[in-house]
Amino acid sequence: MSNLYRSAISARVAKFPAMPPTHAPWAEGDVEGEDEDEANDSLSALPGSGLGPPAMPAHRTVKPKPPNPKYAPISASGFFSDALQVAVPSRKLDFRTYYTPPKLAGGTVFVCHHGAGYSGTSFACMAQEVGALTGGMCGVLAIDARRHGKTTATEGADDDLSIDTLVDDFCAVVSTVFPDVASTPSLLLVGHSMGGAVIVRSCPRLQEKKYRITGVCVLDVVEGSAVDALPHMHSLLNARPEGFGSIEEAIEWHVSTNTITNPTSARVSIPSTICASDDGAVHPYTWRTPLRSTAPYWLSWFQGLSASFLAARTARLLVLAGTDRLDKELMIGQMQGRFQMVVVPGVGHMLHEDDPTRIAEILVEFWKRNERVIVGVKKVGEA
């Protein structure tokens, strides 16, 4: 999100067009996003939103073209051990999660929350790297938020994306997947953009339930930059297509526009961000979560983020894509040494997809430092 303000400005001149969790077995050829029964959402502008110019025309003739095999979807089964459907009756939702558990006792689980419009599969390549770098001592649990990916409502509407609701959802999923706090591995909370706002506010709630939180890791979001960018968001969204002729076309658009510069990651993550359209004659596929419709919640996601981050009673890490200005609270906090900050050059807003190896290295180094994983040295209190 730290690049959001720059992206918003450049978009104006852009020329490109409790039940326990149950396994959802990986089937051969199973690719996230192939389901054709998910409801289509409109990309029309929000009435009276006052944010930016009107949306692109609702109907345009789209000349179909054959799918490009170079951008064929890749199943997430090669990156996670399991796809889990986690039923949470209290939230009236059936959450899709992706999980690779730690292979060793005393390990840690990186619990990941994606940004707006994306899904848990955006952490797929990074999850694979985390497992390799730690020899399986760390696992990864990635969650699809409500109205995202393959998470579905079991009753009523699921269109409330306010920060309080997202935090309630996140904590409920963690409590359902790990019902026995005493036997739960330590948890490292990782959130990208909107997900960063969710995990820092979830941290104290989970600690109250006695979960051991190793740290909170926020990926590419700064409150000041995010709030400054909000008035320009509709201009940015106007540069996005309303839909696509195929899943391959959607993947190609993300790669060709440098929204995601890593084609492999895009082939895994993008299929779950689109769904079959009700108006297939115009666009066979459209956005699973139209970002314009989430506008009422944008301010709630980011307002107060810096204070919540600095107040977290655990180790804190901020990873940014390129240089970006910190707001006053973070600048003071950095000078006081209250959190670790790493700037990663050569990546965009989707930094964990653009360079999953480097982001995994940063997270693993942070985990080692705060878990004090040193051979032959016991932790305080160990016999």
**The two structure tokens encoding residue 267:** 């082939």
220 tagged catalytic:
yes
Quote the pLDDT of residue 39.
Answer: 32
For the chain, what are the domain ranges?
18-41+72-371
Q: Of 349, 352, 354, 355, which one is the catalytic site residue? A: 349
Coil/strand/helix, residue 10: helix
Query: Is residue 234 among the annotated active site residues?
Result: no
State which fold the 18-41+72-371 domain adopts: Rossmann fold (3.40.50)
Q: Which of 193, 202, 235, 293 is catalytic?
A: 193
Question: Helix or strand or coil: residue 64?
Answer: coil
pLDDT digits (tens, 9 = 90+) for 53-87: 333 444 444 566 788 999 999 999 999 999 999 99
Cα separation, 64 vs 47, in Å, equals: 31
Task: Give the span between the Cα atoms of 344 and 348, in whole angstroms.
Answer: 9
For the entire predicted model, the pTM comes to 0.84
Between CA 162 and CA 146 the distance in angstroms is 11
239 token code pair: 């540069």
- Look at strands 315-321 and 93-100 and give their pairing: unpaired
Query: Under a CB-based contact definition with an 8 Å cutoff, are residues 173 and 88 in contact?
Result: yes
* CA–CA separation, 295 and 23 (whole Å): 34
Q: What is the pLDDT of residue 324?
A: 63
Respond yes or no: is residue 193 known to be catalytic: yes
Question: Three-state SS for 140?
Answer: strand
* The Cα angle at residue 111 between residues 110 and 116, in degrees rounded to 5: 130
pLDDT, tens digit (0-9, with 9 covering 90-100), for 86-145: 999 999 999 999 999 999 888 999 999 999 999 999 999 999 999 999 999 999 999 999
Could you tell me whether strands 243-244 and 285-287 are parallel, antiparallel, or unpaired per DSSP bridges? antiparallel
In one letter, which amino acid is 268? Answer: V
Annotated catalytic residue within 169, 220, 324, 355: 220
Name residues of the chain where pLDDT drops below 70.
1-64, 279-281, 323-324, 372-383
